[in-house]
Structures are given as structure tokens and as C-alpha cells.
């Protein structure tokens, strides 16, 4: 099979593509470990759910987000590898910026003044947690819903 782009400049054999190799490995792993097909299927519904779950979990400040993806999977069927990838939006480099935005949104919703000078004490941490989680809930549901509907809309 030869894939030709619309300008016929590059020719590439589809069997050599990296994405196809990844899919083959997923199929092998699914058969080896007896994983249900829904958890690795790439249809419209499973990918859209994975996008929602991935964004929702990514924006919630908690440790071990990928473990939470596994804990949610028996209750909601979705593509686990895609949810894992999206979950890594909040990596150690992006976490401080995202959590500050969440804190600012939560403080705005609650009508609380944003704390500029943060000292690590029990009082400061407890005053930060409530607006942080309010903002996290707003940001995670809005991003999850937005990209869920966008993925369903643009699916071909």
C-alpha cells in the first residue's frame, strides 16, 4: 500500500508508519493480558469519552492521576491510552501555571482575594485549597466538555 499526499511529493508505505506499529502493539498487549476491546478501541464514542475523562482528571490537583484513570475505567468505558496521554497535560512543567489559573478562577468565584505572598503554613494551605478545587472543578468540566464535543463534531 502506498500513501500519496495531495501533492504526490512524498511516498510512504503505510505498513512502516509508527502509529500502525503502536496499534499493533496495543492489540498484542490486549490479547496477552485479556484486556477488553472497548478499552483500546478507536471509535467515536470511546475516544470522546477518553478525551473527557483525560481532561477532567488532568486538571484536578491530585497525585497519581494515571491511577485514577484506571479506577474510573470499570464505571465508564473509554480508551485508556488516550486518556493517559491527555492526563499528562498537567506535567511537572505545566502544573504551577495551571494550578495558579485554577486558584485564581476559584478565588474569583468565591469572591476571595488572591493571596500573592504564599508562605507554607497550615493556615495558608487550607485557605488556598478551597478556591483551588473550585477552580479545578470549573476548569476540568469546561475543558473536558469542550474537547468532548469538539472531538465528536470533527470525527470523520
Q: Provide the 10 A C-beta neighbour count for residue 39.
A: 18
Global model pTM greater than 0.85: no
pLDDT (mean) for 132-150: 93
Q: Which whole-number Å values give the CA distances from 6 to 2, 3, 13, 20, 87, in the listed order? A: 13, 10, 15, 21, 34
Please state, rounded to an integer, the average pLDDT across all residues of the chain.
79
Backbone angles phi, psi at 79, to 5 degrees: -80, 110
Which phi-psi region, left, alpha or beta, contains residue 88 (left: φ > 0; alpha: ψ -120 to 50)? alpha
Query: Residue 111: is its pLDDT beyond 70?
Result: yes
pLDDT (mean) for 115-141: 82
pLDDT band at 24 (very low <50, low <70, confident <90, very high): low
Amino acid at each position: 500500500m502506498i500513501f500519496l499526499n495531495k501533492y504526490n511529493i512524498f511516498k510512504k508505505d503505510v505498513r512502516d508508519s509508527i502509529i500502525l506499529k503502536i496499534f499493533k502493539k496495543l492489540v498484542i498487549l490486549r490479547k496477552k493480558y485479556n484486556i477488553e476491546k472497548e478499552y483500546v478501541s478507536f471509535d467515536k464514542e470511546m475516544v470522546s469519552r477518553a478525551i473527557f475523562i483525560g481532561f477532567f482528571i488532568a486538571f484536578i490537583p491530585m497525585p497519581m492521576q494515571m491511577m485514577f484513570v484506571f479506577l474510573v475505567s470499570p464505571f465508564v468505558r473509554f480508551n485508556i491510552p488516550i486518556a493517559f496521554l491527555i492526563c499528562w497535560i498537567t506535567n511537572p512543567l505545566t502544573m504551577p501555571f495551571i494550578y495558579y489559573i485554577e486558584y485564581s478562577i476559584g478565588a474569583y468565584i468565591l469572591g476571595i482575594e488572591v493571596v500573592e505572598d504564599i508562605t507554607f503554613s497550615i493556615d495558608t494551605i487550607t485557605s488556598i485549597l478551597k478556591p483551588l478545587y473550585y477552580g479545578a472543578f470549573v476548569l476540568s468540566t469546561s475543558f473536558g466538555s469542550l474537547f468532548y464535543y469538539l472531538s465528536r463534531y470533527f470525527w470523520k
